[in-house]
């Protein structure tokens, strides 16, 4: 609201425009006018006195009184302006100039032919500069009225006009008044506008400096935002690496648990069985030893199958799982002829082709082994949705697997309650492959429904 009011005031007031462009109160523009009038009046006092003394042998006290009044008025306005009352000083100066000019023109009887009437010109100029065009037009109209009154008074003989001026004065006085007034107005206007131009250039330079500083600030802000974005990206990457490290730590601890089972349970059990067989040899000793040796070899092979943690880089690519699963089931049919394999069409995923073939191979082999003795053995490879995620599965219609058996799936070296002589870590490898893809693998089993191995692959 305040800015709008200032804009409206500036539109009707040149002084408002000048104060917006160059604040006169701070730069002393008003005081410059008062100084110039004081200087001109001070010069006019001795000039008028000398000219009148030389031409008329008198100092012309009325003219000196006018000049002295102008000098006093200019000094008074200068003092008022220095105290901050600039509008009062400007109005007082213009009013005194205009009134003194009008009074002298009538009292001297010179009327329009008095040289001081040319002071009307700077009065209108100062009014336009400091108080706007509206007040300047009103002053101009008042000036025209005063001049018309002088003309009518001269025509009616109430003012002597040119005749009286020629009797009491000289053309030199008239010429001197016109020259002083015109030259003074021109000098003040030039000095004043040069001051304005100087201040305008200074303000323009300051504006350019502010603009440059703003551009530099914007550039710095852009750089800061870029750095902040990079920092956030780095933080995100560190967080992702931290999460990955946590997952790797869990997996490493899980593999260490497997190795602990081997070193703490499985191999000592095999060694104990071999010692017992050697301590009491009989006809079955050789077979028992061969069975334990075969089991130890199987455990060693399983451990080698886990491979090193320094696995090759994962190469994700769009995969058509249907033909991949069909190739695997086609190869399985030679070994599991009684098993029927069903693969859903249009199975698609994103992952490492080699690892996905290995994962599906492990799961299909385990499912086929589980249901091979069923009357209508079936292994189904398909996909579905769970919790908004795409889930792939390999299911069989084999015997139900209880919770304890499902837990032993991922601890292949635990032979408690079993008579197995071989170790199958395919399900462990399949879980590791799913986890490397950012997913998981879990097992569900129910009576009369068989077992299903579900796995996800994370975001591609």
> CB neighbours of 187 closer than 8 A, spacing ≥ 6?
36
Place of tokens 């001081």: 116
Place of tokens 């802000």: 221
CB 452 within 8 A of CB 393: yes
CA 305 to chain centre: 53
Q: Which residues partner with 392 through β-bridges?
A: 383, 455
* Predicted confidence (pLDDT) at residue 15 exceeds the cutoff of 70: no
Range 68-77 burial, b when 16+ CB lie within 10 A, else e: ebbbebbbbb
Of 161, 155, 119, the residue nearest 139 (C-alpha):
119
SS3 label, residue 440 = coil
* Predicted confidence (pLDDT) at residue 455 exceeds the cutoff of 90: yes
Res 391: pLDDT = 93
Structure-token pair, residue 167? 């009797």
In the chain, % of residues over pLDDT 70: 71
Structure-token pair, residue 236? 């995100």
Of 301, 233, 239, 255, the residue nearest 435 (C-alpha):
255
Structure-token pair, residue 183? 């030259």
Q: Which residues partner with 396 through β-bridges?
A: 379, 451
Res 426: pLDDT = 78
Res 322: pLDDT = 92
Res 166: pLDDT = 61
3-state SS record for the chain = CHHHHHHHHHHHCHHHHHHHHCCHHHHCHHHHHHHHHHHHHHHHHHHHHHHHHHHHCCCCHHHHHHHHHHHHHHHHHHHHHHCCCHHHHHHHHHHHHHHHHHHHHHHCCCHHHCHHHHHHHHHHHHHHHHHHHHHHHHHHHHHHHHHHHHHHHHHCCCCCHHHHHHHHCCHHHHHHHHHHHHHHHHHHHHHHHHHHHHHHHHHHHHHHHHHHHHHHHHHHHHHHHHHHHHHHHHHHHHHHHHHHHHHHHHHHHHHHHHHHHHHHHHHHHHHHHHHHHHHCCCCCHHHHHHHHHHHHHHHHHHHHHHCCCCCCCCCCEEEEHHHHHHHHHHHHCCCCCCCEEEECCCCEEEECHHHHHHHHHHHHHHHHHHHCCCCCCEEEEEEEEECCEEEEEEEECCCCCCHHHHHHHCCCCCCCCCCCCCCCCHHHHHHHHHHHCCCCEEEEEECCCEEEEEECCCCC
Domains of the chain: 2-217 (no CATH), 315-460 (3.30.565.10)
Structure-token pair, residue 421? 């002589």
* Predicted confidence (pLDDT) at residue 268 exceeds the cutoff of 80: no
For the residues 49-71, what does the mean pLDDT come to? 70
Q: What is the pTM of this model?
A: 0.44
* Predicted confidence (pLDDT) at residue 375 exceeds the cutoff of 70: yes
Sign of CA dihedral 378, 383, 385, 388: positive
Q: Which backbone phi and psi does 351 adopt, to 5 degrees?
A: -175, -175
Q: Which backbone phi and psi does 57 adopt, to 5 degrees?
A: 60, 30
Confidence of residue 327 (pLDDT cuts 50, 70, 90): very high
For the residues 421-441, what does the mean pLDDT come to? 79
Structure-token pair, residue 20? 């917006």
Helix and strand tally (H, E) in the chain? 15, 7
Res 221: pLDDT = 92
Res 25: pLDDT = 39
Q: Share the mean pLDDT of the chain.
A: 76
For the segment 341-373, what is each residue's pLDDT rounded down to a tens digit?
Answer: 999 999 999 989 989 998 999 999 999 988 988
Q: Which backbone phi and psi does 319 adopt, to 5 degrees?
A: -125, 140
CB 72 within 8 A of CB 42: no
**Polymer length in residues for the chain:** 460
* Predicted confidence (pLDDT) at residue 172 exceeds the cutoff of 70: no
Place of tokens 């869990």: 250
CB 363 within 8 A of CB 450: no
Confidence of residue 14 (pLDDT cuts 50, 70, 90): very low
Structure-token pair, residue 392? 């792939």
């Amino acid at each position: 609201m305040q800015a709008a009011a200032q804009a409206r005031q500036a539109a009707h007031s040149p002084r408002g425009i000048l104060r917006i462009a160059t604040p006169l109160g701070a730069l002393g523009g008003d005081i410059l006018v008062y100084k110039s009038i004081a200087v001109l009046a001070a010069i006019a006092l001795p000039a008028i006195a000398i000219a009148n003394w030389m031409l008329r042998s008198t100092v012309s006290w009325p003219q000196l009184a006018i000049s002295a009044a102008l000098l006093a008025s200019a000094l008074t306005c200068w003092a008022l302006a220095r105290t901050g009352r600039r509008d009062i000083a400007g109005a007082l100066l213009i009013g005194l100039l205009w009134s003194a000019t009008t009074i002298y023109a009538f009292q001297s009887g010179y009327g329009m032919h008095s040289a001081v009437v040319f002071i009307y010109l700077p009065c209108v100029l100062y009014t336009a500069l400091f108080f706007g065009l509206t007040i300047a037009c009103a002053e101009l109209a008042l000036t025209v009225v005063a001049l018309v009154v002088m003309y009518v008074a001269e025509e009616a003989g109430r003012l002597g006009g040119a005749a009286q001026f020629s009797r009491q004065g000289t053309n030199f006085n008239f010429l001197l008044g016109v020259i002083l007034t015109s030259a003074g107005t021109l000098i003040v206007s030039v000095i004043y506008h040069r001051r304005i131009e100087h201040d305008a250039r200074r303000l323009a330079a300051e504006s350019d400096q502010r603009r440059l500083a703003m551009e530099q600030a914007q550039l710095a802000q852009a750089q800061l935002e870029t750095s902040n974005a990079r920092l956030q990206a780095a933080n995100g990457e560190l967080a992702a690496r931290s999460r990955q490290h946590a997952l790797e730590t869990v997996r490493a601890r899980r593999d260490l648990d497997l190795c602990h089972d081997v070193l703490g349970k499985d191999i000592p059990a095999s060694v104990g069985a071999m010692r017992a067989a050697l301590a009491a040899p009989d006809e079955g000793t050789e077979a028992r030893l061969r069975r334990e040796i075969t089991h130890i070899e199987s455990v060693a092979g399983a451990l080698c199958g886990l491979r090193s943690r320094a696995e090759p880089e994962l190469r994700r690519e769009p995969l058509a799982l249907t033909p991949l699963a069909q190739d695997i089931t086609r190869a399985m049919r030679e070994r599991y002829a009684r098993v029927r394999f069903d693969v859903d069409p249009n199975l698609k995923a994103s992952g490492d082709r080699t690892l996905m073939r290995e994962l599906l191979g492990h799961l299909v082999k385990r499912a086929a082994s589980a249901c091979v003795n069923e009357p209508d053995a079936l292994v189904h490879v398909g996909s579905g949705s769970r919790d908004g995620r795409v889930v792939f599965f390999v299911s069989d219609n084999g015997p139900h697997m209880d919770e304890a058996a499902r837990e032993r799936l991922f601890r292949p070296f635990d032979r408690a309650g079993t008579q197995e002589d071989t170790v199958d870590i395919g399900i462990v490898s399949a879980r590791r492959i799913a986890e490397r893809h950012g997913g998981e693998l879990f097992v569900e089993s129910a009576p009369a429904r068989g077992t299903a191995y579900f796995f996800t692959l994370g975001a591609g």
